[in-house]
Amino acid sequence: MPELQRLTPDHAPALLEFERENRAYFARSVPDRGDDYFAQFDARHAALLAEQETGHCHFHLLVDDGEVLGRFNLVDVADGVADLGYRVAERAAGRGLATAGVRQVCDLARDAYGLVRLTASATLANAGSLAVLRRAGFTPVGEVLLDGHPGLRHVRELAG
């Protein structure tokens, strides 16, 4: 059974494997991370953990038997608001894991981190991500450009 876990140093090998295996899949709907991301992965992972310690970000992985199936991140935390980003492995897509993970992160954002609102954006071409946001209670609030591609910005209030 997949479990949402807060990012730790021990996740590095499985997370790198997840990113490598799904690189081409992710690049079809979001900008590619680039070769430097993979070449500098260990330093990047350490930087994420350091940033998480400040409370300005909260990083989570959906893990099943040691394998990473998804990432669910809360970034730019300030004044009770954060931006949500997520990605799920190609082999795990279409099973409801993205929606379940987003819902869990919304609960954590409210209950563990004291947040009151989340924002999230997706390109218009990323129908799956737009559907996940709708199913998880996000409301479109405006148009945005994401790396030059038209998208929608969404908001979810986290009333307790």
Structural domain boundaries in the chain: 3-157
pLDDT-based confidence at 160, cuts 50/70/90? low
- Secondary structure (3-state) at 112: coil
- Give the DSSP H or E segment for 153: strand 149-157
Work out the average pLDDT over 87-92: 94
95-106 tens-digit pLDDT: 999 999 999 999
- Domain spanning 3-157, CATH architecture: 3-Layer(aba) Sandwich (3.40)
What region, left, alpha or beta, does residue 55 occupy, with left being phi > 0 and alpha being psi -120 to 50 degrees? left
pLDDT-based confidence at 87, cuts 50/70/90? very high
Q: How much of the chain is in helix, strand and coil states, percent to nearest 5?
A: 40, 35, 25
Query: What is the reported pLDDT for 28?
Result: 82
> Is residue 141 a contact partner of residue 153, using CB atoms and an 8 Å limit?
yes
